[in-house]
Chains A and B, each alone.
Chain A
C-alpha cells in the first residue's frame, strides 16, 4: 500500500503516539540482564570507597586513628574531615539552605553518620580497613523527640549555628529550631474556629519512612588529570544540578565536569540529594588520580540517606452542623533530623504542604510548620510524591474522616458536599494555589458506583452486628480517599533548587532519513521515559515513536534540566518535548510549502504530513521534509531540522483521584487483608495507558507498605531499629493485592498536551485509603484515629484498647 492509500487512522496508529499502550523500549536490555547500573561500571585501576560510620546518635569525636587501617595491604587512603577542610569540602550545602557535614567535624549527630572514608583496592579490603579505623567518641545526650527539642534541658545539636537567629527560611527561636513557615490567615481562621458550630481536632502523625529503591545510592568518580576532566557516574535523579553543585564545591569549571546518570534502579526521591559518598568519591579520585567507586549497602541506605515524612500534624477543622466545611487549621512539627536536607524548592521549606486543603472548597485556612533538629539522619525527601504532598493529602483525608465521625455523617457524603465544583476551576485555594482543572464529583460518583458503596456499607453494618453478636471475629473497613496533588514544579518565578529555576528541556534532532533523537533534562528511574517521550513527539511531528531515540542523563549531551522527581517529568519536560516538536513542525512547514510550491498558509498539518488545502493528493510527509532539509537548498531556511525548548510552566498541574480500599481485619491477630482496591486516577491527557497502570500498581504498593508497616524507627538513644529489610517492611507478591484501575480524563488547560503526571498519585492517594480503611473498621467501636503504620501488632493493640478482646 502506498503512503497515500493509508487511512488517517492507520497513519495515526503507525505513529504509536499519545494514548497508545506502546511496549517499552527499555525492556530488551533489562530482561536480558544488560542494564547498565552504576555498580556495573568497571574501570582499569578503579578503587573502592567505604565509610566508617558513627555508632552513636550524638557524640563528640575525640580522635581518629587510621594507622592500623592504613597498614592493611591494598588500603590507599583514609579521608577525614581534617583532610577535606583545606578544600572546604568537610561541609557541603544542602538543598534546603542548610549545610551538612561530609565527614564528622568534631562531632556526630546521628547514628550512621559518615566519619571517615576508606579508599582501597577492592571492597573487601575497604571493609576490613573500616573496622580498623579507631575513633574515640564522647557520648552526648541524645534528642530524638522533636517535642522536647526546645525544653530547657535539651542538648544543643548544631553548635555550628547555635547562635544564628536567622536561618535560610527566616527567624530561629532556639538552637534546635530550623524555621517556622506560615501560610494563610491565622487570626481569621482562628475566628472561624471559635464561632463554628462544629470543630473536630486530631493529631495526625505521618511517621518516618524511607524510599528504599531496590538499587542503593552510589557513584563512580574519575578524575582525568591529563585532560583536567572529571566524570561522575551515579544514581542521580537530577544530574545537571549535581554537575553545578560539584563545580561550585570542587572549584572545577563546569565544562570540565561530566555527570552521567546511567540506568537507575528506582529512585522514589532517594536519589535527588547530594550525599557525602559522592563528594568523597570525587575527592578520593582527585587525590589518587584513579577512578573511585562508592556503593551504599542496604543498611547504610536505610539509616543514613534520605528519610521521608516524619510530620506531626495537629489539625482542627470547622464545619456547620450539616457538614459544610468552614475552615482548616494545621500546626505541623517537622522532624528534620540533624541537618535540614529536605529536597524542596527554595521558597518552600515545607514543600507544598499548603495543598492540605485537598479537594475541598475550604474558605479559610491556616498552616504553620515548625522545622526541628533531632539526632536522626537528614533527609525529608519526597518519597514518591511531590514535595510534602503526601503528608498534606494524608492530613486532610484523615481530618475529613475525623470530622465525619464528629458529625455522625457518612464520609463519602461529607466529601461530596465539600468538593470544589467543576465550575469553580481555575480554583484559588485559601492557602494560595490556583488549581488548574478538575471534575471531582464525576470521579467520585464513578468510584462509589464501581465498588457498590451503598452495598459495602450495608455489609459492614451487618458485620458489626454479627461481631457484637459473637458470630464473627472479623471487621470490615472501607477506606475512602479523594486526593488532589500539586505536581510539575514548577514556574521559575517561584520554584528553584539551589537557585536553579525549575524549568526543563528537550532538544530534538531529525536525521536525514526521517528518524530522530530527542534529549531531555530529566532522567528515568523506571518510569519509561524512552518510551513515553517518544510518543509525545510522535504525535507532534508525525514520525513513528519507534523511529525516535530518547536519551537522558548525560550532562555533556543533554540540555540542562532539573531532573525527575515530584512527578515533574511529564508536566515540565513533557511540555518541553511538545513545544520543541512544534518548533520542528513550524520549520518543516516552511520547507514543505517550498517543496509544494505554495504559500506556508496554504498547507495544513495532518498526522504525519503537510497537505495542500483543498488538494489532498498534494502533500509532503515529515520524512520527505526531513530529507529535503539536508539535501536541498531551501531559500531563506537554514539546513537541517533541529529544535530545542526550555519550558517554564505557567502553573503546576493538579492530578486527582478517587480511591477506595476494602479491608478485612482479624480482631484477634491484628492481621489485615485487602479484599478490594479500586483506584480511579485523573492525570489529564493519558500518554501510555499501560505505563500509567503500571505506575498506579507500583505506587499503591509503596503506599500499602507505608500505611501497613514500613517505618524508620529509633529508640531513645537514637539507634536505628529498622536498618535492614528484615525489619523494614517491603511488601512481597504474597501480601500485595490485585488492584482495579480506572480513570477519568480532565486535561490540564495550560499544558501543551494537557497531561498532568501520574507517577506519584497512587502513593499520595493510597496511603490515606489504606489508613482510612483500618481506622474505619473500628469506627463503630468508638475509634476516631490511630496512627500509622498499621502493622498487625498496632491493629491488635487498637482492638485491645477498645476492649474488643474481652
Chain B
C-alpha cells in the first residue's frame, strides 16, 4: 500500500514519517518515532493508555489515522518532563502512589495535564469526570485523583521568589 509523508511536531521537534493511509497514529509514534510512552490497551478508544495531546486536546491515538494528525503539534508523556525537571504531575503521581504497573500512567498523566490546562481549579468530581476516559486496573483511581488534585494545588501556588 502506498505511503504518504506525514509531518508532525512531536514534543517540540519537527519529524517526518512515512505511513499508509490506514496506519494508526499510535503505531507511527511507537514503531517509527520510538515514542513508546503511550501504550496500546484496547484499540477501541475505551482505555486511554494511548492518550496523547494533539493541538491542545487529549486524543486517543489508537483510533486516529496518522494522516489525520498531518501538520499537528503532538505532546506525549516524553514531552511533559525530563529526568532533570519532572512535570509536577509526574512528581505527584510518585508522591501519592498514583501508579502501580505503570501501563496506564503515561496516558493518565498526559490526560491529567490537559485537564489541568482546561480547568486549573478542579474539584474532586471534576477530576474524576475529567479522567474517566482513562482506565486503570491497579490503583482504583483513589491515589490518582489525589495526585492530580495535589498537582493542581502546587501549580496554583504563586511561584516561589528566588
Contacts and interface: CB of A to CB of B under 8 A. Distances in A.
B99 interface: yes
B83 A32 contact: yes
Contact of A215 (B76, B103, B131, B143): B103
Contacts of B133: 732
A635 B133 CA distance: 65
Nearest to B38: A33
Interface centre among B37, B49, B102, B133 (most CB of A within 10 A): B102
A237 B40 CA distance: 20
Contacts of B44: 298, 724-726
A592 interface: no
Contacts of B144: 733
B16 interface: no
A30 B90 CA distance: 9
Nearest to A702: B137
Contacts of A512: none
Contacts of B105: 30-31, 35
Given A266-B137, A733-B131, A525 B101 contact: yes
A123 B40 CA distance: 14
Contacts of A297: 43
Contacts of B103: 35, 37, 213-215, 265-266
A734 B137 contact: no
Interface string A723-762: 0111000101110101100000000000000000000000
A661 B114 CA distance: 34
Given A32-B78, A725-B47, A266 B97 contact: no
Contacts of A123: 27
A422 interface: no
B20 interface: yes
A214 B99 contact: no
Contacts of A264: 101
Interface in B108-134: 109, 127-129, 131-134
A268 B137 contact: yes
Contacts of B95: 23
B101 A266 contact: yes
B10 to A, nearest CB: 12
A725 B136 CA distance: 13
Contacts of B128: 733-734, 736
Given A124-B23, A214-B137, A702-B137, A32 B77 contact: yes
Contact of B143 (A214, A263, A694, A725): A694
A687 to B, nearest CB: 14
Nearest to B20: A124
Interface centre among A33, A39, A123 (most CB of B within 10 A): A33
A528 interface: yes
Interface residues of B, number: 59
A3 interface: no
B86 interface: yes
B128 to A, nearest CB: 4
B86 A697 contact: no
Contacts of B42: 298, 724-725
Contacts of A266: 100-101, 103, 137-138
B31 interface: yes
A699 B139 CA distance: 8
B41 A31 contact: no
Given A266-B137, A733-B128, A526 B86 contact: no
A39 B40 contact: yes
A33 B137 contact: no
A26 interface: yes
Interface string A664-708: 000000000000000000000000001101100111111000000
Contacts of A471: none
Contacts of B109: 31
A298 B45 CA distance: 11
Interface string A522-541: 00011110000000000000
Given A27-B99, A32-B37, A124 B137 contact: no
A674 to B, nearest CB: 12
A37 B39 contact: yes
B142 interface: yes
A698 B140 CA distance: 4
Contacts of B31: 42, 122
Contact of A697 (B36, B82, B134, B140): B140
A699 B132 CA distance: 18
B90 to A, nearest CB: 4
Contacts of A26: 102
A624 B95 CA distance: 33
A733 B115 CA distance: 14
Given A266-B103, A266-B138, A732-B132, A27 B93 contact: yes
A124 B94 contact: no
B104 interface: yes
Interface string A190-202: 0000000000000
Interface string B127-159: 111011111111111111100000000000000
Contacts of A700: 140
Interface centre among B43, B131, B141 (most CB of A within 10 A): B141
Contacts of B102: 26-27, 29-31, 35, 263, 265, 526
B98 to A, nearest CB: 9
Interface string A265-280: 1101000000000000
Nearest to A29: B102
Interface string A5-28: 000000000000000000110111
Contacts of A525: 101
Interface in B66-108: 76-78, 81-83, 86, 90, 93-95, 97, 99-106
Nearest to B104: A214
A677 to B, nearest CB: 10
A626 B101 CA distance: 34
Contact of B135 (A24, A35, A697, A725): A725
A53 to B, nearest CB: 15
A297 B27 CA distance: 14
Given A40-B36, A266-B101, A527-B100, A213 B137 contact: yes
Contacts of A281: none
Given A35-B103, A266-B101, 16 more contacts: A27-B99, A28-B94, A30-B101, A31-B102, A39-B30, A124-B23, A213-B103, A266-B100, A298-B47, A691-B97, A694-B143, A701-B139, A726-B44, A730-B135, A734-B132, A736-B142
Top 10 nearest A-B pairs (CB, nearest first) are: A33-B37, A30-B102, A526-B101, A265-B103, A697-B140, A701-B140, A33-B77, A526-B100, A725-B46, A733-B141
Interface of B: 20, 22-23, 27, 30-31, 34-44, 46-47, 49, 76-78, 81-83, 86, 90, 93-95, 97, 99-106, 109, 127-129, 131-145
21 contacts: A31-B99, A32-B78, A33-B76, A35-B103, A37-B39, A37-B103, A124-B22, A214-B104, A214-B136, A216-B41, A295-B40, A298-B43, A298-B44, A528-B100, A697-B141, A697-B142, A701-B140, A732-B133, A734-B128, A736-B128, A736-B140
